[in-house]
């Protein structure tokens, strides 16, 4: 009796498992360039196969976390980061109150400070809240991204892979949407303050500037790029 041949799906699983074993060995040996090691190509295959997700998510998450801790030095536990960013957001609320107490230039600067604080603080907090809703675990806050460095949130990649790709897409979009809304919230509250017209116009211009930079850059390098990637995977799985 001839032995059963593995199916194409089983072959793909074995190949992905072998690739992750090779990558994990290289990472433990000191290599941290996951792109050069082919990690993200393997992950792209895993995302499109629920059997591979079930079998390989933990190993992929372990590799991702090992490299993150090796490469990112400025990081904080999730609770510490949450407290710091919540303080920034509360500072924005205080600034709006002060914009209603002060007059002239000080009121205008307070309005700008409020919008800036909300744009900075709410981004990763919104990611974190949405992650909690859909079952993605977050492990750390860190400083990163293109200059100037800004707060980012690190997910447990195993729980990220196990989450439905449509939900992963909106996880990425959530923070970007919140950041773009923040300046316009300050503009909407401006009539309740003594902020002069130049400050309101500057805050609105800042909001428009953020939207333009998102359209030009983020669809190729940041949250919206990841949103489009995960939405494409969700659509592909739905067509199957």
Extents of the domains making up the chain = 8-71, 75-155+162-239
Residue pair 234/170 in contact (Cβ under 8 Å)? The answer is no
Residue 69, Cα to own-chain centre: how many angstroms?
A: 17
Residue-wise DSSP of 64-123 = HHHHHHHH--SEEEHHHHHHHHHHHHHHHHHHHHHHHHS-HHHHHHHHHHHHHHHHHHHH
Quote the pLDDT of residue 2.
53
3-state secondary structure of 240: coil
User: 63-99 pLDDT, tens per residue?
Assistant: 999 999 999 999 999 999 999 999 999 999 999 999 9
User: 34-70 pLDDT, tens per residue?
Assistant: 999 999 999 999 999 999 999 999 999 999 999 999 9
Cβ neighbours of residue 213 under 8 Å, at least 6 residues apart?
A: none
Could you give the dihedral angle defined by the CA atoms of residues 232, 235, 239 and 240, in that order, rounded to the nearest 10 degrees? 70
Half-sphere exposure (CA, 13 Å, Cβ side) for 236?
Answer: 13
Quote the pLDDT of residue 171.
98
In the DSSP assignment, the letter for residue 135 is: T
Angstrom distances, CA of residue 168 to CA of 57, 83, 103, 203, 234? 15, 24, 44, 31, 9
Tokens 């590799």 correspond to what residue?
63
Question: What pTM, to 2 d.p., does this model score?
Answer: 0.93
């Amino acid at each position: 009796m001839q032995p059963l041949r593995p199916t194409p799906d089983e072959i793909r699983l074995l190949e992905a498992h072998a690739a992750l074993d090779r990558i994990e060995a290289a990472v433990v040996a000191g290599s941290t360039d996951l792109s050069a090691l082919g990690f993200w190509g393997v992950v792209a295959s895993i995302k499109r196969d629920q059997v591979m997700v079930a079998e390989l998510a933990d190993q992929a998450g372990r590799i991702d976390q090992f490299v993150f801790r090796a490469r990112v030095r400025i990081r904080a536990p999730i609770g510490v980061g949450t407290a710091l960013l919540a303080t920034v957001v509360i500072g924005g609320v205080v600034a709006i109150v002060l914009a209603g107490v002060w007059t002239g230039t000080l009121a205008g600067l307070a309005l700008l400070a409020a919008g800036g604080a909300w744009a900075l603080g709410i981004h990763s907090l919104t990611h974190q809240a949405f992650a909690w809703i859909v079952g993605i675990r977050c492990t750390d806050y860190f400083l990163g991204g293109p200059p100037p460095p800004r707060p980012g949130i690190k997910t447990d990649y195993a729980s990220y892979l196990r989450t439905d790709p449509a939900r992963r897409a909106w996880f990425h979009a959530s923070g970007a949407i919140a950041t773009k809304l923040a300046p316009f919230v300050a503009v909407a509250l401006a009539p309740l303050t003594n902020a002069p017209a130049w400050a309101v116009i500057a805050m609105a211009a800042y909001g428009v500037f953020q939207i333009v930079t998102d359209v030009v850059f983020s669809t190729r390098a940041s949250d919206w790029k990841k949103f489009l990637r995960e939405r494409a995977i969700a659509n592909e799985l739905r067509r199957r």
